[in-house]
Structure 1
Amino acid sequence: MTSETVSFGYAEVTPEEKTERVGAVFRSVASRYDLMNDAMSGGMHRLWKDRFVRRVNPRAGEHILDMAGGTGDIAFRMAARGAAVTVSDINGAMLEVGMERARRRNIEGLVWSEQNAETLTFEDRRFDGYTIAFGIRNVTHIDKALAEAHRVLKRGGRFFCLEFSTTLWPGFRELYDSYSHHLVPRLGKLLAHDEESYRYLIESIRRFPDMERFKAMIADAGFVRPSVEPMLGGLVAIHSGWKI
Structure 2
Amino acid sequence: MSRRSKENPEGLKMFDSHCHLTDAQFGADLAMVLKRAHSAGVRYMMTASQSVPDSRQVVALSRHREGVYCAVGVHPHDSDQFRSWDVQALKDMCIESKVKAIGEIGLDFFRGISSRGNQETAFHAQVELARMLAMPMIIHIRDAASRARSIVDEHGYYAGVLHCFSADKKLAEWAAEKGLFVSFSGNITYGEERLEDIVRAIPRDLLMVETDAPFLAPAPSRGQRNEPAMIRLTVEKLAQLVGITPVEAADLTRENALRCFRI
**TM-score of the two chains, using structure 2 as the length reference:** 0.32
Between structures 1 and 2, the one with greater strand share: 1
**TM-score of the two chains, using structure 1 as the length reference:** 0.34
